[in-house]
Amino acid sequence: MNNIINSQSNILNKKAVLKLEKDIIKIMAISDTHLGCLQDRVDYLKYFYKYAEEFGVDIIIHCGDLTDGYLNYLDQIENLKYKTFDDQKEYVIDVYPESSIPTFIIAGNHDFSWQNKEGMDIIAEIVKVRKDLYYLGDTEGIIKLSNLKIGLIHGHKKIAQEIRKLKLSPDIVFKGHSHICMKRRTRYYSLLQVPCLVDYRYHPGMSNRESVLGVYIIDINVKYQEVLEDQLIKCSNDGAKRVLRL
């Protein structure tokens, strides 16, 4: 795919500028893969990349928590199968699907935990090796396609506060972190909260029982900056390797 411009392997400036010679584009939105924990679902991740290639997806976006990180709370550490920075980094480099479709990533709080522990940005180190992945360098970022501005956010603050950090006013916003799916239209933008791709795990004191596994597939009219169709594809969350509603 040769229609990406301004696409250094480490973008790290919160903005990617793309040029696609088509009026309608198809995006697959994923989030919260938490790679490196016992409950990660690399099988689903690989399935959806294959699905994206077969059904003409133009861009894949990842809305944060690519890795499970290292957070010293509750039972998070006990749920890690890779407990060091290098082990998690190499695991992601090895298992993350390779594709001709560009993937744009922002960081999540779990990814940033490595900066607190090791003083290093794990996604920045991953994309040095994985040239097919593009990192927007923070918990928020913008992808520009002509006049269309797509915002990616991942954070604990109110959505309006996260969007203000983007500087540019987005037409469509994808949000990770919550492990739920939800969509709504405001006066200024369309918002889609992106589900996760990690099996449920119980953390005492945390309410993540409503986690939804799946991805969004979205058709967007670039010229008119509008969502034409969105499809939520949900996964089984009972441990079975199957996908629902294909």
Report the percentage of the chain scoring pLDDT > 90: 65
> What does pTM read for this prediction?
0.90
Rounded CA gap, 31 and 208, in Å? 15
Rounded CA gap, 36 and 83, in Å? 8
Q: Would you state the pLDDT for residue 148? A: 92
Question: Strands 15-18 and 190-193: what pairing?
Answer: unpaired
Distances (CA, A) of 152 to 75, 95, 124, 164, 193: 29, 23, 17, 12, 10
Query: What's the pLDDT band for 102 if we cut at 50, 70, 90?
Result: very high
Given a cut of 50, whether residue 241 has pLDDT beyond it is no
Average pLDDT, integer, range 187-195 = 92
**Token duo for residue 94:** 């090895």
- No. of H helices and E strands in the chain? 5, 12
pLDDT in tens, 114-130: 999 999 999 999 999 99
Report the percentage of the chain scoring pLDDT > 70: 86
**Token duo for residue 19:** 């040029």
Single out the residue of 168, 172, 148, 171 nearest to residue 22, CA to CA. 148
pLDDT in tens, 38-59: 999 999 999 999 999 999 999 9
Query: What's the pLDDT band for 136 if we cut at 50, 70, 90?
Result: very high
Report the run of H or E that residue 195 belongs to, with start and end: none
Q: Would you state the pLDDT for residue 206? A: 52
Helix (H, G, I), strand (E, B) or coil at 50: helix
Task: Specify the CATH architecture of the domain 15-234.
Answer: 4-Layer Sandwich (3.60)
> What is the length of the chain?
246
Q: Would you state the pLDDT for residue 10? A: 56
Q: Say how far residue 186 (Cα) sits from the centre of its chain.
A: 22
Q: Would you state the pLDDT for residue 12? A: 64
Query: What's the pLDDT band for 197 if we cut at 50, 70, 90?
Result: very high
Cross-strand partners of 216: 29, 232
Q: Would you state the pLDDT for residue 168? A: 78
